[in-house]
Structure 1
Amino acid sequence: ATTQSFAIAIAHPYPETIDFLREALPQLIEQGFELVPVSQLVERKYIQLAQAEGKEISAR
């Protein structure tokens, strides 16, 4: 995440996963990490590419 400015993690809604996230999320947020859906990463990348090509982006 520090090199690419993002990382993708997959988690399943098992009790162990939920317990881990409850413990780890405050620490990750404190370190500056932001958890978002992968769809948001795709949208951000699409916008960056469109802007780099000088294309206008229409609102959804």
Structure 2
Amino acid sequence: MKIEADRDICIGAGMCVMNAEEVFDQGDDGIVVVLEADVPPEHADAAARAVAGCPSGALRRIED
């Protein structure tokens, strides 16, 4: 699975980091930063929860 983030849509809620801190972080401006665009299998469930829980819809899951 791959993850993409639209930083223009992100509102900085931080739900992604709370769900998958191994995959996401927030920059100094509070906007999402994707740490692992190619999500390792052990973090796939957490990343999927982060995508589903993103309040702005800034995250997108891409299946391999």
Normalised TM-score (structure 2) = 0.35
Higher RCO (Cα < 8 Å, 6 or more apart)? 2
* Greater fraction strand: 2
Normalised TM-score (structure 1) = 0.36
